[in-house]
Amino acid sequence: MPGRNGERTWCWTTTAWAARGGGSGPRQWQDPSFGRLFGKDRVYLRLPDDEGQGTEWLTEHGRDGRRLRQVELRADGTALTSDLESWPINPPFDLGDPWLAAHEISRNEFEQEWERGTPDPDW
């Protein structure tokens, strides 16, 4: 995902995390969606870009919350793909987060965009 000064960073930013209330806590635990993604072999998400550029990220995660593949959907319709081989770091997402559960998509939706996409030339 885009970082400072245009360089690419591949972790979910703390800005989005803090904007939603800072992660796990009593308020989050009381949400009926808390933990809904736990225990799934694969989780597919459609996430908005933190910087509001009209980009969306479709991500595939393993049981541990780490990304396996992702598609960057740009506002102009371009779809760029990347995977584990592309990322120098890959911190896990908190699959207990109700906010993430609200962004879950189907495997089919992810696969359609993955097939349409082209490998990201920056990676």
Q: Is residue 13 part of a domain?
A: no
How confident is the model at residue 63, as a pLDDT? 94
Query: Under a CB-based contact definition with an 8 Å cutoff, are residues 47 and 103 in contact?
Result: yes
Residues 68 and 61 sit within 8 Å (Cβ to Cβ): yes
In a domain, 15, yes or no: no
Q: What is the mean pLDDT of each run of 10 residues along the chain (123 residues)?
A: 39 43 57 74 94 90 96 95 93 90 96 97 85
Helical spans, DSSP H, in the chain: 14-19, 26-30, 98-101, 107-116
Q: What's the pLDDT score for residue 51? A: 79
Paired with 71 in beta bridges are 58, 81
In a domain, 103, yes or no: yes
Q: Give the integer Cα–Cα distance in Å for 112 and 123.
A: 21
| Residue 69 in domain | yes
* pLDDT value, residue 32: 62
**Predicted pLDDT at 53:** 82
Q: Which domain holds residue 82?
A: 21-119
The tally of domains found in the chain comes to: 1
Q: At a CB cut-off of 8 Å and minimum separation 6, what does 35 contact?
A: 95, 96
The secondary structure of residue 84, as a DSSP letter, is G
Q: What pLDDT does 122 receive?
A: 87
